[in-house]
Amino acid sequence: MPRARKKFVCRKKDRGVGLDVFLMGRIGSSRSQAQRLIKNNLVLLNAAPPKRARQVLRENDVVEVICEPTKGKYEHTNYEKFDIKIIEETDEYIVIDKPAGLLVHETGAGEKNTLADWLRDKYPEIQKVGESKLRPGIVHRLDKDASGVMVAAKTQKMFDQLKAQFKERAVEKKYLVLAHGVMEKDMGEINFAIDRGVSGRMSARPKIDRTKLKNVNREQPGKAAITEYLVKARFARFSLLEIKIHTGRTHQIRVHLLAFAHPVVGDNLYFNRKLNRKKDKELGRLFLHASTLCFADLSGTKVCYNSGLPRELNDFLEKLN
C-alpha cells in the first residue's frame, strides 16, 4: 500500500519561518514531533529532503509530509485510563464528555490513546464516516488539555449536516473558563483577529484605528474571531467566565484572553510570564471546559447537551472562596 502524503504550499506570510515551526501549524504537532518527522525522512521540501529541521522557508515552497498507511485494524490503546462518558447516543450521532488530557485525534505524528481510537473500537462502522480515517465522524475538536461536551457523527449524512452547521456558525458553543485577574465589566466581547505567529503559536492583538495616519503601515493580518464573555463569579485574583464563541479559530479562547490580559488559568502555552502562576501549577490542567453544545439533528430540531464542571475544577474553585 503506498504511503499517503499531505502537501502544503508556503504563502507570503510563511516567508522566514522555520520548517519545523511551519509543520507545527499545519499538522498540529509539537515542535519536537515535527523535528522527529524531518529526522525520520518523512518530510520533503520541494520534493527533496530538507537540509535541517529549522530550514527557513520561502514563498511558494512546497512541503510534503509522508504518512504511513494504516494496516488492518487500528491498534488497541490504553485510553481506558480516561473516563469517557456518553451523554447521548442516537442512530445518527454520539455526544460524549471528553476528559482533560485526551487528544481528540492524532496529528500526523502517530499519537495513540486518542478519542478517535476509542470511537473506532467502540463503533467500528464509524471508520467509514467523515473525510479522514484519522478523524472518523469528528467534525470539531477540543484542545487536549480542555474537557467537555463533543459530538461525533455515526453516519455520513449526519457528518455532512454537522459540518455545514459548523461552517455556517449555526452551532452554539459555551465554555466555563477561569481567567487570571478580575474583570472590570460583567460582560463584553473580544473581537481581535487571530493569526499564526512566527513561533507557530496563534496570536491576537487589539484592533487599531486604521483611519489614523500613524497606522497606515501597521498591517494587522489574521482571521476574524469573536468571543463573548459573561462573568459568573469573581475571586481575589481570578474571574470565572461563561464564554460563547461565534467563530472556531485554533485556540481562540486561550489566545483572545491572553491578548485581553486575562489568560486562562493552567495554560502552559498562552500565558503572561509576569503573572503569579502558583495556582496554575496547583491546578495541574487547563481550566477550560466546554459546558454546552447545541446543533440541529437530521429532522431540523435543535438539540442541546450540557456537561458540568469536572470534580477537580469544582474543588479548585471551592479553595478560592
3-state secondary structure 304-315: EEECCCCHHHHH
| Nearest of 89, 138, 148, 90 to residue 114 by alpha carbon | 138
* Of 128, 11, 7, residue with least CA distance to 58: 11
Select which of 143, 145, 267, 280 is catalytic: 143
* Distance separating alpha carbons of residues 240 and 178, to the nearest angstrom: 4
What 3-state DSSP class applies to 163? Answer: helix
Distance CA 30, CA 34 (A): 6
* 37 in Cβ contact with 29 (< 8 Å): yes
- Widest distance between CA atoms in the chain: 62
**Any catalytic annotation for residue 186?**
no
**Strand 147-153 versus strand 172-180 pairing type:** unpaired
- Sign of the CA dihedral with 288 first, then 290, 107, and 102 last: positive
Residue pair 17/197 in contact by the 8 Å Cβ criterion: no
- Check: CB of residue 174 under 8 Å from CB of residue 244: yes
Q: Which three cell numbers stand for residue 316?
A: 479548585
Give catalytic residue positions: 143
